[in-house]
Amino acid sequence: MHNQRSKISLLTVVAATLLMLVCMLPNAEAKPTGPGIFCQTYPEMPVCQGNLVACSPCHDSTWPTSWNAYGLDVWVALNGEPYEQGLATALQTIEDIDSDQDGLTNLQELLSNTMPGEAQSVWIDPPTPIGLSNSWYEVGSFDYRFAFRRVGAIFCGQSPTYEELIAFEEGVDPGTEEGQALLDERLHDYMGYCLDTVYWRRTALWSMADKRIRPLTAAGVNSSIGLVLADYYWDYYLFEYVLTGDRDARHLLTADYHVQEDLNGDLEVVTGSFAGEAGIAPGQPLQVERRAGMITTQWFLVINTMFSPLPRTSAAHALRSYLGMDIARSEGLLPVENEPIDIDNKGVAEAPCSHCHSTLDPLSYSFTYYHGIYGNLTGLYDPNRPDRVNVEIPGWNDPQSVILGQPVDDLVEWAHVASESDEFKRNLADMFFQYVLDRGPDPQEQESFTEIWKALPEDDYSVNRMLHRLIDTDAFGAP
Amino acid sequence: MRYVRFIFSLWLVLSVSACVGSYNQQHPTKDVGADVDPTDADGYGEPDADGDADGYGEPDADGDSTDSGGDAGGDADGGPTDSGGDAGGDADGYGEPDADGDATDSGGYGDAGSDADGGPTDSGGSPLDELWPEQSPDDMAVSLKANLRWKRGAILKNDLSQALGFAPDQSCKELELFDCFMAHNIPLGGSDPFGSGLYEPARSPQVTTPIAVERIIMQTCVRRALVDAVGPAVVFTELDLASPALDPTDLETLLAVDKQTRILYRRFLARNPTIAEKDLIRTLLLSDNGELVSATDFAVMSCFAIGSTTEFIFF
């Protein structure tokens, strides 16, 4: 009886405490500075490697603000201390707690790249393979036959034939070092062949370009309603060109040239500006010195900027496509002090909006000088754009552009900073990893994944070389 | 009825075993190449340790006495057309025409193995040229990583076309008009950026995916059988597709069926079948009602059974 009464008393205290916390919470709000502090505290965590953690580890929602179990523990650990000053210590204080009661501590979850506040988000290493042996595959370790077949299917678009498999293993004793070396050489020879196939260049790479280019037939060069605003094939050709032939992948964001298909179907570089014929055969009219690869093509500006005075959509899409961070998901938040200034009076300084716009607006200022859809100026750089009719921004004072915490003078510099960032490298590797394996890297694969994108400078930013590294991983070749 | 079947089966096993014994006595110099087991009756080179694991004890193929030397992979079935050291390198090895329209034959990578030049497996045979070993599920090492990929539309189209010897755009037509892979693009894991603005494909197979996959494989198998029936056959080279009924008690028929099975396994899965798989395909010689099936029906069903395996659809 005494025990029961004690339990009831304890429950009452816990309930009262929770009630008190809940009553206090609405006065708090999500802080966009949190992700930056988190990654300063845990730079080695997978989620901070070439990336900036989103708000989701702590928050179920940033507006109205709500916390998950981990976020609540952080809040309690803050113990009333100002957020920015106390967050790092609070995070470390609760490392050994299992906030979501899924059997793993918060630190273990962060190291595994799972959510410490969501019980359903948990990683358990797969058990070792069962059974004594497998006559067909090297289960659990790299298997050249398995990898060879995958290379064919993924990069050539067609699995190797029986005859090709025989040729691949001809005269090889896989049990010897020489045999392994020979298989490795053949595997990479085959890979080299596949990376130059039409399938890889036109089907696979183009499919990766789709969501970045976002073609719209009705407004493209094949418009059935005669509404030709720009030609997205320029974008596809540039994407394909830069990511093949050992070229420098940074040109995705820094190319000041364009690429077209010649009569033989080969791609050739085109320099200079060419206006095309308005409404019929769009060209690439943008001034050469104002170009920034994929994010300043005429189509990119047409489909993203359109009629926006301050092209936030363009900045967000560039960030999402080439740095792998989606502002709409509260990713990549690095708020700039005193932002958003709400230069165009859209009300973005209000609490529900400022959370993201303190990062997004400074990202967008550089895009303001590039016309979206604007008659003969479509896709052109125009220093007077903020004064133009229909896209004017009264009170425009050329606010400071900032990307990844770094002030930049214009979009060309914006793109340069982006192309040199870890975020760009990681996103590039992630784009191909996701395509190749139809999933992201799991916690056991994080280390090799990180090695791949960190080697990009060593590989002269060649995607082909990066992919040769990728097929050597267990993620690719171990059944 | 059950006793009659049992007696018939026993008779079949004994009589075929007798044939094997007779054959082996008459062919003491049989090219066993990479055969692990010299008693291997079917000449496929599988470790047929029991002498005749598949129970039918078929004599090695055509009894082709001209089949000397080249068939290093234990492939003793070369047949009359199997000349010139057409060993494991010519994986078809059965003498079926190489100019089958197979997409990979036209200048693709690694064609070295597909010609009749003696091929890479002339010297000692390849493990791939044997029947794949049987392994008990109890002791087989099983991967627990689930590291498999779904063969989405474009790859499935190419692989299916390659397996059945069609040009990719000719393998399957809905209503004889539309490319099946276009018609079922989305369930097959494709995207449609230019048409409907679907920039990203589904992340995982949808509820209609299996239906679309099976429909396409079935239709392509039917198409192949019909085209081959008119001739010249490209895939179903071992069957007389005009035959209204295949007799499972007929030795020649069983041999043809086994050869055909091997062709299909090689074309779809780039390997030889196991003994159990070979035997399983033989069961398609009878319908669910126990009736004989036509050669065309057998061709279609065996093609469908192998082509719709998870092994073909995932990689």
What are A104-120's pLDDT values in tens digits? 999 999 999 999 999 99
Q: Is B14 exposed, middle or buried (CB count within 10 Å of its CB: 0-12, 13-18, 19+)? A: exposed
Q: Which residue has the higher pLDDT, B2 or A166?
A: A166
Residue A118 in tokens? 């969501």
Interface test with A, best of B100, B126, B196 (most A CBs within 10 A): B126
Residue A403 lies in a domain: yes
Whether residue B113 is found in the same domain as residue B237: no
Residue A21 lies in a domain: no
Over the stretch A124-145, which tens digit does the pLDDT of each residue have? Answer: 888 777 777 887 888 888 999 9
Whether residue B176 is found in the same domain as residue B253: yes
Question: Percentage of residues in chain A with pLDDT exceeding 70?
Answer: 92
pLDDT at B45 over 80: no
Residue A168 in tokens? 């691949």
Residue B137 lies in a domain: no
pLDDT at A79 over 50: yes
Residue B77 lies in a domain: yes
pLDDT at A278 over 90: no
Residue B142 lies in a domain: no
Q: Which residue has the higher pLDDT, B91 or A255?
A: A255
Residue A117 lies in a domain: no
Residue B144 lies in a domain: no
**Minimal C-alpha gap between B21 and chain A (Å):** 30
Angle at CA of residue B87, ends B83 and B91, nearest 5°: 110
Amino acid letter, B68: S
pLDDT on residue B153? 95
Domain extent for A187: 144-194
Q: Which residues are within 8 A (CB) of B308 and not within 5 positions of it... i.e. 6 or more apart? A: B213, B214, B217, B218
Over the stretch A335-379, which tens digit does the pLDDT of each residue have? Answer: 999 999 999 999 999 988 999 999 999 999 999 999 999 988 999
Residue A15 lies in a domain: no
Please tell me the number of Cα atoms within 13 Å of A402 on its side-chain side.
20
Q: Where does a domain end: A373, A399, A419?
A: A419
* Count of structural domains within chain B: 2
Distance separating alpha carbons of residues A279 and B252, to the nearest angstrom:
70
Amino acid letter, A238: L
CB B130 within 8 A of CB B72: no
Whether residue B274 is found in the same domain as residue B185: yes
CB A371 within 8 A of CB A380: yes
Whether residue A468 is found in the same domain as residue A447: yes
Distance separating alpha carbons of residues B149 and A150, to the nearest angstrom:
9
Among B89, B149, B159, whose Cβ lies nearest the Cβ of A437?
B149
pLDDT at B120 over 80: no
Task: Give residue B134's pLDDT band: very low, low, confident or very high (50, 70, 90).
Answer: confident
pLDDT on residue B129? 54
Whether residue A237 is found in the same domain as residue A369: yes
pLDDT at A451 over 90: yes
Distance separating alpha carbons of residues B279 and B284, to the nearest angstrom:
9
Amino acid letter, A1: M
Query: CB distance A140–B141 less than 8 Å?
Result: yes
Q: Which residues are within 8 A (CB) of A188 and not within 5 positions of it... i.e. 6 or more apart? A: A468, A471
Whether residue B290 is found in the same domain as residue B250: yes
> B123 to chain A: which residues are within 8 Å by CB?
171
Query: CB distance A129–B120 less than 8 Å?
Result: no
H or E segment and range at residue A281:
strand A281-284
Predicted ipTM of the assembly: 0.88
Whether residue A211 is found in the same domain as residue A164: no
> A219 to chain B: which residues are within 8 Å by CB?
none
CB A400 within 8 A of CB A362: yes
Task: Write down the H helix ranges in A25-102.
Answer: 34-41, 69-78, 83-93
Distance separating alpha carbons of residues B205 and B183, to the nearest angstrom:
16
Residue A426 lies in a domain: yes
CB A122 within 8 A of CB A105: no
H or E segment and range at residue B174:
strand B173-174
Please tell me the number of Cα atoms within 13 Å of A364 on its side-chain side.
25
Residue B167 lies in a domain: yes
Question: Which stretches of B20-134 are assigned E, i.e. beta strand?
Answer: none
Whether residue A305 is found in the same domain as residue A385: yes
pLDDT on residue A72? 95
H or E segment and range at residue B178:
strand B178-179
Residue A464 lies in a domain: yes
Whether residue A338 is found in the same domain as residue A376: yes
Whether residue B104 is found in the same domain as residue B200: no
Query: CB distance A478–B145 less than 8 Å?
Result: yes
Residue A36 in tokens? 């930056």
Query: CB distance A162–B270 less than 8 Å?
Result: yes
Distance separating alpha carbons of residues A233 and A231, to the nearest angstrom:
6
Q: Which residues are within 8 A (CB) of A220 and not within 5 positions of it... i.e. 6 or more apart? A: A228, A229, A230, A231, A232, A233, A299
Residue B105 in tokens? 């034959």
Whether residue B293 is found in the same domain as residue B180: yes
Q: Which residue has the higher pLDDT, A33 or B119?
A: A33
Whether residue B109 is found in the same domain as residue B217: no
Partners of A408 in beta bridges: A401
Closest CA relative to residue A214, chosen from A305, A331, A101: A305
> A168 to chain B: which residues are within 8 Å by CB?
110
Q: Which residue has the higher pLDDT, B38 or A28?
A: A28
Whether residue A376 is found in the same domain as residue A446: no
Q: Where does a domain end: B101, B131, B161?
A: B131
Whether residue A338 is found in the same domain as residue A413: yes
Distance separating alpha carbons of residues B181 and B179, to the nearest angstrom:
5
Residue A254 lies in a domain: yes
pLDDT on residue A471? 98
pLDDT at B202 over 90: yes
Q: How high does pLDDT run on average in chain A?
A: 92
Amino acid letter, B186: I
Among A129, A166, A217, whose Cβ lies nearest the Cβ of B89?
A166
Distance separating alpha carbons of residues A291 and A469, to the nearest angstrom:
31
Domain extent for B243: 153-313
Whether residue A263 is found in the same domain as residue A389: yes
Query: CB distance B141–A158 less than 8 Å?
Result: no
CB–CB contacts below 8 A, A to B: 171
* Count of structural domains within chain A: 4
Closest CA relative to residue A204, chosen from B78, B190, B172, B53: B190
Residue A124 lies in a domain: no
